[in-house]
Amino acid sequence: MEKAVRLIEIQKMRSQFLSEFNRDWDVFLLACEPNLSGAQQLHIGNHIRPQLACWGFMINKNLAEHSDYSKISHLAVSVEAVHKASVIIDDIIDGDTKRRGQDCMHREFGEYPTVFFAVCMLAKGISQLGDLFSGEPRWTYTRMVNTLCDTIHAMCKGAIAEISATAQQQTDLSFVQTIINCETAQLIQNSLYMGFLLADEPNEALGDMLCEIGTKCGYLFQVMNDMEPFCNPDYIAEYKGSVNADFIRARKSIVLPRLYEMCSKRERSILMDAIQNQNGFDEVRILFERYMVREKVAGEIEEIYRSIQNILCRIGQSGRAEWAECFSTFAEELQNRYRTILYPGHGRDN
């Protein structure tokens, strides 16, 4: 019963935070460029990164009593701005027409205005952090701004490496994992960590554990993104306007190195031909099923999830038992989402 009450409280707090975040997000978009602020793509999503920022913040607060989300909401807006800017640019580069079934921003307003709007979001997000923490101790101000800028830098480096990758590099697991760490895991990790840094005297050991959780979650997010075209191509066609397995556009996919290490010499030739010619999705999907990549990745995901739970146990033992218990429930929600992607047909939370 006590746990059930805590879970109800945490859901209530999450709802309150997201309501405030949505209001601040609308104000932020208007400040960026009012004529483009109504783009459909800017107002859809599950707010994972803002929620992670809030979780990082709440680890240093009394979960049952805290109700002021103003500062963390504005921080979360800056974090979400980085994510949205990267997504709308990616959609232009990749030629996607839809996002979550809605027209991509560049389809509504054109590519050039959309690119400049993305730059506006990045600049305004950094500027907002400066305003938010200008009255804080200098180390807090500097660390916040530097962390966000370092995140943007890592994401751009990863993107450059990805679009410049050779066919052979796309089958190199360590190369693909490095890109995932730069492009996805850094933002997820720092969403948690920057929320955590709002504490008056943040505990560095605790911060390291949060970063570890964030990195693992970021890796899982990207793996699921790479797996979905193979596990549920019909949904991807509706979601993005086409079945756009990344390798068809000369982009990295965790599926390729996983397959390459198991394929025969003849099958590797088929795989390399598909990568180099940017076609052959059906042939690659046959190999995907033949070598049970879905099941192997599912096992990897379960192992990573267990490692996240082990970190949460350590956090609980450090005196944050209530937070660890509540975050564990949040992690279970993410795990269920992964399972739905791998094994579609059980409903979906958009």
Between residues 29 and 59, which one has the greater pLDDT?
A: 29
pLDDT reported for residue 79: 96
Neighbour count for residue 10 (Cβ, 10 Å): 21
pLDDT reported for residue 347: 45
Q: Tell me the pTM.
A: 0.89
Task: Find the range with the poorest average confidence among 21-25, 60-64, 93-97, 123-127.
Answer: 60-64
The residues near 291 (Cβ < 8 Å, ≥ 6 apart) are: 259, 262, 263
The residues near 213 (Cβ < 8 Å, ≥ 6 apart) are: 192, 308, 311, 312
Q: Which two tokens stand for residue 68?
A: 């002021």
Confidence of residue 82 (pLDDT cuts 50, 70, 90): very high
Q: Each residue of 236-248: pLDDT tens digit?
A: 666 665 666 677 6
Q: Which two tokens stand for residue 120?
A: 């506006």
Task: From residue 257, give the alpha-carbon distance in Å to each of 83, 157, 185, 254, 326.
Answer: 26, 21, 19, 6, 36
Which SS3 state, helix, strand or coil, does residue 329 take? helix
- Average pLDDT for the chain: 86
Closest C-alpha among 11, 23, 78 to residue 50:
78
Q: Each residue of 335-348: pLDDT tens digit?
A: 887 778 778 765 44
Task: Find the range with the poorest average confidence among 135-139, 188-192, 343-347.
Answer: 343-347
> Residues for the chain: how many in total?
350
pLDDT reported for residue 56: 92
pLDDT reported for residue 228: 84
Neighbour count for residue 16 (Cβ, 10 Å): 15
Contact 47, 24 (CB under 8 A): no
SS3 content of the chain, % helix, strand, coil (to 5): 80, 0, 20
Between residues 65 and 33, which one has the greater pLDDT?
A: 33
Q: Give the helix/strand (H/E) hosting 196.
A: helix 186-196
Q: How far apart, in whole angstroms, are the C-alpha atoms of residue 177 and residue 222? A: 10
Taking the CA atoms of 7, 42, 59 and 19 in sequence, report the sign of the dihedral they define: negative
- Confidence check: pLDDT of 63 > 70: no
Confidence of residue 198 (pLDDT cuts 50, 70, 90): confident
Task: Find the range with the poorest average confidence among 132-136, 261-265, 280-284, 313-317.
Answer: 132-136
pLDDT reported for residue 5: 63
Task: Find the range with the poorest average confidence among 241-255, 274-288, 313-327.
Answer: 241-255
Contact 105, 114 (CB under 8 A): yes
Q: Which fold has domain 2-342?
A: Farnesyl Diphosphate Synthase (1.10.600)
Confidence of residue 189 (pLDDT cuts 50, 70, 90): very high
Between residues 194 and 249, which one has the greater pLDDT?
A: 194
pLDDT reported for residue 350: 36
Which SS3 state, helix, strand or coil, does residue 336 take? helix
Contact 257, 171 (CB under 8 A): yes
Contact 87, 93 (CB under 8 A): no
Q: Work out the percent of the chain whose per-residue pLDDT is above 90.
A: 48
pLDDT reported for residue 3: 64
User: Within its chain, how far is the Cα of 123 from the centroid?
Assistant: 20
Q: What is the mean pLDDT of residues 28-55?
A: 92
Q: Each residue of 228-275: pLDDT tens digit?
A: 888 877 766 666 656 666 776 767 888 899 999 999 999 999 888 888
Looking at 105-203, list the stretches that DSSP marks H as alpha helix, in order from N- to C-terminal side.
105-109, 111-133, 138-163, 167-170, 173-180, 186-196
pLDDT reported for residue 85: 96
- Confidence check: pLDDT of 120 > 50: yes
